[in-house]
Structure 1
Amino acid sequence: MFFSFFSCFFRLFKVNNFNLNSGPIFQGYYIHLTACHRKPERSFFWKGKQFPVCARCTGIHFGYFAFPIFLFGFYSINIWVTLAMMSITYIDGIIQAFFNLESNNIRRVITGVISGVGSMSLVSITGIAIGKLILQYIN
């Protein structure tokens, strides 16, 4: 069970055609530190070069920039809304898989940003809850 959880975050790929941008080398393998598929048809390109992650992951990473908004208390989102925001990417994936409706990169980026913001909201909610438990334990 631990290995299956761990393999979601680290994937070892056999190095056949070595590329310096492929990641750290470990005995003939390179370590890919994301679970992104990096498919060219689902990625953005800038000046002829593919982004290191797909359009959805690009949106998720942009959504991570919302973390200071939640961290410093400028805005907070309900836990249920947060979970709904995070589930949007799964809903889009299910629609693509079962209804044979291919989404475009704009939809992928938008759902990614929403999911990234939801993820940072969840991190903030979890951190605040842990902080309150620690303060309750100390007092």
Structure 2
Amino acid sequence: MAWIYKWLPIFFGCHCRPERSFYYRGRQFPVCARCTGELTGILALLLTWIVWHPDAVPSLLLLLPLVLDGMIQLCTAYESKNIRRLWTGILFGYGLTNLLFLSAAWVYHLGYAAGLNMRNI
């Protein structure tokens, strides 16, 4: 369990600020609310990819709530609550991971098609 608290914040680049983190039984989560959402979104995509996944454009749209929330907080005095950070993180994690998987699939298919064309030369 100690390695999760050490490596998860490094992997996500998380600031781990106490006021922006969830707590369970008095213990702070290893990452903040937004990074917890991103991790949840990543895991949700891994569980649903084979059954269903959106195309690239809807996936790009899933990134917008986090970007907008972060920019609004950066440019104004507004401070979002942890539940909003969690949901924007879930959408972002799901969308970004889906884009990663889609791009890997596209590259595979392009490489496969190129390989077939090379055989026909």
The list of structure 1 runs, each at least 4 consecutive aligned residues, that deviate by more than 6 angstroms after superposition, is none
Matches within 5 A, 1:1-139: 23=6, 32-65=10-43, 66-70=45-49, 72=50, 74-139=51-116
Higher helix share: 2
Partner Cα separation in structure 2 for residue 83 and residue 47 of structure 1:
36
Q: Percent identity?
A: 32
Q: What number of residue pairs does the alignment pair up?
A: 112
Q: Which has the higher contact order (CA 8 A, sep 6+)?
A: 2
Higher strand share: 1
Normalising by the residue count of structure 2, what TM-score does the alignment of the two structures yield? Answer: 0.82
The answer (yes or no) to whether the contact 1:82–1:119 under 8 Å persists in 2 is yes
Normalising by the residue count of structure 1, what TM-score does the alignment of the two structures yield? Answer: 0.72
RMSD over equivalenced CA pairs, Å: 2.0
Which consecutive residues of structure 1, in runs of 5 or more, have no partner in the other structure?
1-19, 25-30
